[in-house]
Amino acid sequence: MSSSLEYYKVFYYVANLGSITLASEKLCISQPAVSQAVRQLEQSLDCQLFMRMSKGVKLTREGEFLFEYVKSGLENIWHGENMLRRMRDLETGEVRIGASDMTLQFYLLPYLEKFHELYPGIKVTVSNGPTPETLRFLYDGKIDFGVVSTPFEARSEVKSTPVKEVRNVFIAGEKFKHLEGKKLSYDILKELPCIFLEKNTSTRTFMDDFLKERGLELEPEFELSTSDMIVQFAMRNLGIGCVMSGFAKMELEKGTLIELQFKESMPGRQFAIITDSKTPVSPAGKKILKLMTSDII
């Protein structure tokens, strides 16, 4: 840019108001300062921008041509500044979150409801996928933060904050009622049809690692993409399912499913909030993170 942005700002107001006097009042500077800025801009561009009239000024043909570009540029800048202020003040903006079906349903949803109640102008985008996919979104800067379940492996720049303890359960339908109340060995799973999540999920990884430490490597009869479907398959007596306990809570309480008991309990897991030090969190994202970590809903 060959001329100062301040000169273009003065030019904009003189052209818009048609008066050096009115422009000086609007800009809170002296009339000589306004006239000097216009002369400097005309000299820089080597053309006359205004014609002096008996009452005020009028744009020349060259001035009209330039004004269309200056008007668009300055008004876009001012609009951008205004939108940034509104975003900072949480009147507008967007927060992008990565979450699985499990973390969304059993942890995140109440906070989203509260956040929307407090800041209805903020757009919330949730990218739904398993933990490995949420981590990729975080690395690529596509989300402000993620809510995932352990275990997972992440880069060193990722900070993990545990927020809730959860546990896996093995569930079964009426066909397997004879197993209810017994203290079972995990070896019995080798003799039973099993229904597990796909291998790209933290729930499956956690279960596989736990069983492998006890000498068991199982190939399930059914591998499904969602825990809700595992519950449905188990209710139809298609096998023994493994899900986070919340997914089967209603069916276990109603007695349409049973929870298998084992001599050794499977350790608990955790939901965790993950952020990346290389990815700046939006103002709206910082606000909902504060809400979540203060645990006020």
Q: Residues 122-173: pLDDT tens digits? A: 889 999 888 889 999 999 888 889 999 988 899 999 999 999 999 999 999 9
The reported pLDDT for the residue numbered 212 is: 95
Regarding whether 276 and 141 lie in a shared domain, the answer is yes
**CATH assignment at residue 73:** 1.10.10.10
* End position of a domain, from candidates 41, 59, 88: 88
Tell me what pLDDT residue 198 has.
92
Give the residue-averaged pLDDT of 1-14: 84
Claim to verify: residue 13 and residue 77 sit in the same structural domain:
yes
pLDDT at position 297? 46
How sure is the predictor about 1, in pLDDT bands with cuts at 50, 70 and 90?
very low
93 sits in the region (left: phi over 0; alpha: psi -120 to 50; else beta) called: left
Could you tell me if 151 and 212 lie in one domain?
Answer: no
Closest CA to 50 of 3, 9, 12, 2: 12
Q: Are residues 151 and 188 in the same domain?
A: no
Q: Are residues 180 and 261 in the same domain?
A: yes
Same domain, 58 and 131: no
Do both 184 and 62 map to the same domain?
A: no
Number of independent structural domains in the chain = 3
The residues that bridge with 172 in the sheet, in sequence order, are: 258
Q: Please check whether residues 225 and 187 belong to one and the same domain.
A: yes
| Structural domain boundaries, residue 65 | 5-88
| Same domain, residue pair 161 and 172 | no
pLDDT band at 110 (very low <50, low <70, confident <90, very high): very high
Q: What angle do CA 293, 203, 101 make, to 5 degrees?
A: 60
Is the domain of 198 the same as that of 258? yes
- Residue (of 27, 96, 152, 100) closest to 281 by Cα position: 96
Give me the CATH number covering residue 287: 3.40.190.10
The tens digit of pLDDT for each residue in 236-280 reads: 999 999 999 999 999 999 999 999 999 999 999 999 999 999 888
Query: Across residues 32-45, what is the average pLDDT?
Result: 93
The residue out of 88, 109, 143 marking a domain boundary is: 88
**Distance between CA 37 and CA 63 in Å, rounded?**
14
Whether residue 111 sits in one domain with residue 195: no
Q: Cβ neighbours of residue 161 under 8 Å, at least 6 residues apart?
A: 272, 273, 274, 275, 293
Query: pTM for the complete prediction?
Result: 0.65
Q: CA 126 to CA 109: how far, in whole Å?
A: 11
Q: Could you tell me how many residues make up the chain? A: 297
What pLDDT, on a 0 to 100 scale, did the predictor assign at position 58? 94
Asked if the model's pLDDT at residue 90 lies above 90, the reply is: no
| pLDDT given at position 81 | 79
**What rounded mean pLDDT belongs to the chain?**
90
